[in-house]
Amino acid sequence: MTLVSSDGMEIAIPGQLVARSSILRRQSILGPITMHYTGEELSNAIATYTEYLSIGDQCEISSKVSEILEEMGLGDLPERHVCTHHQAACLEADTEQKHMHVACPYHNQIHSTSPRDLDSANNITNVTNLPLITSEQFLANDGSDGHRLWILIDTIVFDVTGYLNKHPGGKAPLLKGARKDSTLQFYQHHGRKGNTRPLFNRLRSLAVGRMSLSELQRVPGYQKLDTEGCGNPSLRRQFLQYFHVIE
């Protein structure tokens, strides 16, 4: 199976790792999985876990790697390895009580939170804490003269600059979305294959902000959309729920 990083890299996950994670096995049937880490971070995490399977206790694991592996459902590493690079105090703990309450607060986090909870928490954090974008900022990022290319869908702004050459429908539809509201066009052309998980994974990785109604009304082409008449009511309901958009 394949992971897609936040910077667009595709990283293959060895079968032995997939076999050890119920999260990876379950999500692999939906296609490539997008994660909010760089390709280098994901590759390092996979390489570290593979090394751990080979040499066990001799392998040192950083807090960033353990965080990524936890989200992948591979958080079964020995406690002392998880804390090796996070805090030296973890290595000095002489009792489990001291280790849990004094030495390493990150250790507490990974023991009190399941992989499923972490995945859910990251989804919510990414889509609810998006910064507010002004209409001026949006209109300026039209892909010309070295600017980024932003498109607008149902109040959410997406930076598609690095996705132009990867878009299944080609560059043209994305380029046409510059400086206007692309909501209706999006629902008319997406989400008809039944499986929308890869689509939302991709959208999540591209989201850079959201717009208030007052700013939205200044964008060319904006119109208050009726869900039932948008071309794909089911997809729009999923989108509004996923990105916590209030009509």
- Smallest CA-to-CA distance from 180 within 143, 227, 234 is with 143
- For the full predicted model, state whether its pTM sits above 0.75: no
Task: Give the pLDDT confidence of 55-109 residue by residue, as tens digits.
Answer: 655 556 777 888 888 888 887 665 444 433 333 333 333 333 333 333 333 333 3
Mean pLDDT value of segment 206-217: 94
- Smallest CA-to-CA distance from 65 within 57, 56, 203, 50 is with 50
The Cα–Cα gap between 25 and 87 comes to: 32
Q: How many helices (H) does the chain have, and how many strands (E)?
A: 14, 6
CB of 245 closer than 8 Å to CB of 239: yes
Percent of the chain residues past pLDDT 70, beyond the cut: 74
Mean pLDDT value of segment 1-14: 80
CB of 219 closer than 8 Å to CB of 176: no
Backbone φ and ψ for 232, nearest 5 degrees, come out as: -155, 75
Res 12: pLDDT: 80
The Cα–Cα gap between 164 and 162 comes to: 6
With residue 215 as reference, give the H or E element that holds it.
helix 213-216
Q: Which residues lie below 8 Å from residue 12, measured CB to CB, with a gap of 6+?
A: 1, 2, 3
Report for 9-23, 54-68, 104-118, 132-146: range of highest mean pLDDT:
132-146
Mean pLDDT value of segment 189-218: 87
What residue type is 33 in one-letter code? I
| Domains of the chain, earliest start first | 2-115 (3.30.710), 130-242 (3.10.120.10)
Q: Is the pLDDT of residue 189 over 80?
A: yes
Please list, residue by residue across 212-222, b when 16 or more beta carbons sit within 10 angstroms of its beta carbon and e when fewer do. Answer: eeebbeebeeb
Res 177: pLDDT: 95
What residues form DSSP beta bridges with 210? Answer: 132, 156
Q: How many residues in the chain?
A: 247
